Amino acid sequence: MNCLACTHPLDGPGRLCPGCTRGLDERLADLPRQYLLLGLAENLQRRRTGDRGPVAVVRDAPMPLSEAALTLRAEGGIVTVLEGWRRQMQAARGWGVPAEGGPYARRVRDAARGLRMSLEWIAAEWDDAGELAHGVQGLAARCRAVTEPADPAQRARLLGYCVAPYGDGSPCGGEVRLSHGEKVAGCRWCGCAYPSATWLGLHTAQPEHTGAAGAGAAA
Ligand SMILES: [Zn+2]
Ligand SMILES: [Zn+2]
């Protein structure tokens, strides 16, 4: 018998190897947090809309909302994928349909928890464990593509820290990075776009402590 997710040979009977089981568990545990992070980014963007900021040249930039964040948080996104898996799992175990309801954040948490509580059975016995592991892996990757910086191999150049105001008017402060081959940089946090015409404005608007962020490729 091989692991249904990574196809490595298993020591004994089972469906998932220890590594894939652990990975599935960690991703399920992290998805509720990812859901909240996506919402935070979305809220900052919404609150900023209509604000008058101190950096006009930046405020004139178009503001493409992170489509990915919206899609993942909407019906059909994280909540639907996880609840679908939990329903399928419970049916496979001969259990009834799980209770689903309340705010999306709670539904995401409940569905992830329900799957984790059956993790031992999933890894040992469920024929769909491989598909579940791959599905959750893909979902987690889509979330992290929005909430976390790109991996080092394709790391985008750091231009500075986002000066777009939101809410109380204080700057967003997210990393503004320029991806390879792109002409428009973007804030990783609020999604504010910085076309090349705004880069000088961004540079001069940086707080004094700009050098603190490690990557520092823009220096
Ligand atoms: Zn495996
Ligand atoms: Zn920002």
Mean pLDDT by runs of 10 across the 219 residues of the chain is 95 95 97 86 53 40 56 92 98 94 93 98 98 96 76 63 79 80 80 87 71 42
- Which ligand is closest in space to the CA of residue 3? 1
**Are 184 and 62 contacting, i.e. CB atoms less than 8 angstroms apart?**
no
- Which ligand is closest in space to the CA of residue 55? 2
**Are 28 and 112 contacting, i.e. CB atoms less than 8 angstroms apart?**
yes
The reported pLDDT for the residue numbered 201 is 85
The reported pLDDT for the residue numbered 156 is 65
The reported pLDDT for the residue numbered 126 is 98
The reported pLDDT for the residue numbered 88 is 98
The reported pLDDT for the residue numbered 77 is 94
Which residues, chain by chain, have CB under 5 Å from ion ligand 2?
Answer: 162, 164, 172, 174, 187, 189-190, 192
Nearest to 182 by CA among 190, 191, 193: 193
The reported pLDDT for the residue numbered 216 is 41
The reported pLDDT for the residue numbered 65 is 42
**Are 147 and 34 contacting, i.e. CB atoms less than 8 angstroms apart?**
yes
- The rounded Å distance from CA 17 to ligand 1 centre is 4
- The rounded Å distance from CA 176 to ligand 2 centre is 7
The reported pLDDT for the residue numbered 155 is 56
Give the C-alpha separation, 90 to 5, whole Å: 20
- The rounded Å distance from CA 45 to ligand 2 centre is 8
The token duo for 176 is 């503004």
- The rounded Å distance from CA 188 to ligand 2 centre is 7
- The rounded Å distance from CA 161 to ligand 2 centre is 7
- The rounded Å distance from CA 3 to ligand 1 centre is 5
- Which ligand is closest in space to the CA of residue 23? 1
